[in-house]
Amino acid sequence: MERPAWAPKGIDISVPSVSRIYDYYLGGSHNFEVDRDAARKAMEFLPGLPKIMQANRAFMRRAVGFAVAEGIDQFLDIGSGIPTFGNVHEIAQRADPEARVVYVDHDPVAVAHSEAVLAGNDRATVVAADFRRPREILTSPQLRETLDLDRPVALLLVALLHFVDDSDRPQEVLEQLRGALAPGSLLILTHASGELMPAEPTEGVTGVYENIRNPLKLRGKDEIARFFDGMEILDPGLVRMPEWRPDIAPEEEDPYSFAGYAGVGRTA
């Protein structure tokens, strides 16, 4: 297997990565054949998977724009993945050149490519860390040098929590993260849901992710809503992704775009 020149040393390019599969769905080039193979297998069951990922990104862009309009100028994007066009720092800094962004991912390719994209941007950085270990994120020098946690922060968990099993206590982790943020901070979240997908194809997709040791946890709306416990869920509430403050009429969206829930909450 040929190793691309951009691939960081020491990573096993024979093992698929969720971040690189996501990059492939979005039309990116920072993925390996093993990632493309897993993605194609999943798309045999749900051909519209790229549309689902595009809907996630579109929601993220709308939510970041909303956050800036609300006076938020600090962003913490956990599970940020591999940068493609229209990242958080591009959206936020276009609206507010003073906006500061910290990306967090545990995939070495995502981290390395983020470092390259952010070179020369002194208001954006990346941390190599995992959502499941919030203390590593919150105490990282990059975060401490970039964000002021005494002021509101927008915490983004876009297309992340459905890769975190209940056994990893995502609610507790999220409470630790939120507890470190100032009042008035925002939680920007999307989550895939089996309630919004046909059962048989969904089982096929979850089987693919199970095989690559990144199982999907497709929670229902009530379970997802609990991630906002103790927060004010802002209008229009927890809704299907294209329905959150849409730019275009939801009925014009691809049906696959509705396969996940999206919401924004504010801390008291």
Query: Where in the chain are the domains?
Result: 18-267
| 43: amino acid identity, one letter | M
Average the pLDDT over 115-138 and give the result.
96
**Closest residue by Cα to residue 65 from 95, 87, 38, 85:** 95
Average the pLDDT over 88-105 and give the result.
97
| DSSP code per residue over 29-46 | S---HHHHHHHHHHHHH-
**Helices (DSSP H) in 180-261: which residue ranges?**
199-211, 221-225
Average the pLDDT over 20-43 and give the result.
94
| DSSP code per residue over 73-141 | -EEEEET--S--SS-HHHHHHHH-TT-EEEEEES-HHHHHHHHHHHTT-TTEEEEE--TT-HHHHHT-H
CB within 8 Å of 15: residues ≥ 6 apart: 34, 212
Assess whether pLDDT exceeds 60 at residue 49. yes
**Closest residue by Cα to residue 107 from 131, 136, 134:** 131
Give the pLDDT band of residue 2 (cuts 50, 70, 90). Answer: low
Token couple for 244:
């959150």
Assess whether pLDDT exceeds 80 at residue 10. no
Quote the CA–CA distance of 75 and 91 in Å, as a whole number: 11
Lowest mean pLDDT among 7-21, 92-106, 126-140: 7-21
Question: What are the beta bridge partners of residue 157?
Answer: 189
Superfamily holding 18-267 = Vaccinia Virus protein VP39 (3.40.50.150)
pLDDT at 62: 98
Assess whether pLDDT exceeds 80 at residue 226. yes
pLDDT at 193: 96
The pTM of this model reads 0.94
Average the pLDDT over 20-38 and give the result.
93
Residue 75: phi and psi, rounded to 5, are: -135, 135
Give the pLDDT band of residue 11 (cuts 50, 70, 90). Answer: confident
The answer to whether the CB of 26 falls within 8 A of the CB of 57 is yes
Assess whether pLDDT exceeds 60 at residue 15. yes
Assess whether pLDDT exceeds 80 at residue 134. yes
pLDDT at 1: 56
Quote the CA–CA distance of 53 and 159 in Å, as a whole number: 8
Give per-residue pLDDT as tens, 58-91.
Answer: 999 999 999 999 999 999 999 999 988 789 999 9
